[in-house]
Amino acid sequence: MHHFAYRDGRLFAEGIPLEKIAQEVGTPFYCYSHATLERHFQAFEASLGSVPHLVCFSVKSNSNLAVLSVFLNQGAGLDVVSGGELYRAMKAGADPKKIVFAGVGKTVREMEEALRAEILLFNVESEQELLALDRVAGLGGMKAPVALRINPDINPQTHPYISTGLKQNKFGIPFDRSLDVYRQAKALKYIDPIGVHCHIGSQILEVQPFVDTLGRIKALVKKLREESIAVQYLDLGGGLGITYEDEVAPPPSEYAEALLGELGDLDCTLIFEPGRVLVGNAGIMVTRVLYIKRGPEKSFIVVDAGMNDCIRPSLYGAYQAVWPVAQREGEKISGDVVGPICESGDFLAKDRLLPPLEPGDLVAVMSAGAYGFTMASNYNSRPRAAEVLVKGTEQWVVRDRETYEDIVQGESVPEALSGADSGDGR
Ligand SMILES: *Cc1c(COP(=O)(O)O)cnc(C)c1O
């Protein structure tokens, strides 16, 4: 599944002991496995066989330029949700003809940037956005290639924060409005409606919600074609789940087989936007134990990474396994792994039976490759962690640990407030 494994009781990333990286880079740090990234992409790609398709990695799940490059080298496209992500995609050398752009709040500036780059598809999420895009494209004398993001009202059976395809969610155009909005799109001079898009949520562990969604979309595509709206692209989004604890996630092969079965002979190029399934288990976060507070009920393992470094446990109550970097004999500790942040919600693991640990030990927070570093912040003025990519016995720091200077970068105190030697002496 991934290339983080023990050798003689020491945890390795591929061919490198994590202790060695910690010594050289300090803690906390994120560590990604090149072989795992490649393997996950290849498994996804292979499951689609000879069906015309494009796999666009979801940049928001892990946007490090080096990680993007690994996928681009494999022929991937990219799914972006902001101008900043488009900038990263271009900087990493993506072919704009393999970039799709989703998001409920695209600004004029972002539309201009994406039009200028000549991306493959705008995944448009509302009627007003469609009109705005028509206007912006017209001013630039361009035609915008568009897929409407359809909200199919399907329950993906996942955490409410990461459900996106229910009618109470802010995403997409309601299914029963879709035909009308396509007609409107067709009538607009600077809009070229060539696709249908949907994305129903994340960490989805059943294939059925995906199949049900495709069923609804397929019916729509047929109707659109009857009205000579030539749909070439079917973008089925991302959302396939992974194993964090003991969940059984359908492998990409099962997911693809179910979807291709439902697709039947519908002639379309399929687009997928996987994020988590490609990177989630290809990355870990390594942190050092600072103190152990033993209490009567439970103990607190205080480590040098917090919710600012990895917010998933605090934000969604998400489970991420915690492994010792050096295995040792002894009595297990029951308790929470907590960070230094001044919030009671600052924990990385709760109510666990943990391996024997002492101050100075390293632990790995597993399954941290997706929505890990990308959701990190500077809360409590903590510099964001370093990111390291390992390939075999090679390692590269692919993002430096931030410095205190980085943290205050761009801030200034207006002269009128800077007391001491300013002013007219009054
Ligand atoms: C977040 C997102 C994805 C990726 O979701 P995963 O669950 O990480 O696969 C794909 N498409 C869109 C539009 C998204 O917002």
Report CA(274)–ligand 1 centroid distance (Å): 6
361 and 349 within one domain? yes
Q: Is residue 356 part of a domain?
A: yes
- Cβ atoms of 54 and 98 within 8 Å: the answer is yes
What pLDDT is attached to residue 354? 93
Report CA(61)–ligand 1 centroid distance (Å): 8
User: pLDDT tens-digit profile of 231-290?
Assistant: 999 999 999 999 999 999 999 999 999 999 999 999 999 999 999 999 999 999 999 999
Residue-number span of the structural domain to which 387 is assigned: 4-31+280-401
Q: Is residue 414 part of a domain?
A: no
180 and 50 within one domain? yes
Q: What is the mean pLDDT of residues 84-112?
A: 97
- Cβ atoms of 243 and 320 within 8 Å: the answer is no
Q: What is the mean pLDDT of residues 46-67?
A: 97
Q: Is the pLDDT of residue 176 over 70?
A: yes
What does the mean pLDDT of the chain come to? 95
What pLDDT is attached to residue 164? 80
173 and 302 within one domain? no
Nearest atom, ligand 1, residue 203 CA: 7
40 and 27 within one domain? no
181 and 113 within one domain? yes
Q: pTM for the whole thing?
A: 0.96
Comparing 164-173, 174-183, 405-414, the range with the smallest average pLDDT is 164-173
Number of domains in the chain: 2
187 and 94 within one domain? yes
358 and 242 within one domain? no
Q: Is residue 222 part of a domain?
A: yes
232 and 114 within one domain? yes
Comparing 77-81, 147-151, 156-160, 301-305, the range with the smallest average pLDDT is 156-160
- Mutation probe of ligand 1 site: the residue of 41, 78, 202, 204 with most atoms within 8 A of C-beta: 202
At 333, list the tokens: 């500790």
Cα–Cα distance measured from residue 271 to residue 232, given in angstroms and rounded to the nearest whole number: 10
Nearest atom, ligand 1, residue 274 CA: 9
For residue 85, which of 106, 70, 73, 76 has the smallest C-alpha distance? 106
Q: Which residues of 204-223 are buried (b: 16+ CB within 10 A; e: fewer)?
A: bbbbebbbbbbeebbebbee
Cα–Cα distance measured from residue 284 to residue 305, given in angstroms and rounded to the nearest whole number: 12
Q: Give ligand 1 pocket residues (Cβ under 6 A).
A: 58, 60-61, 79, 81, 102, 199, 202, 237-240, 273-277, 370
Q: What is the mean pLDDT of residues 217-239?
A: 96
Residue where a domain terminates, one of 244, 278, 312? 278
What pLDDT is attached to residue 141? 96
Is residue 8 exposed (0-12), middle (13-18) or buried (19+ Cβ within 10 Å)? exposed
| CATH code of the domain covering residue 96 | 3.20.20.10
59 and 19 within one domain? no
| CATH code of the domain covering residue 326 | 2.40.37.10
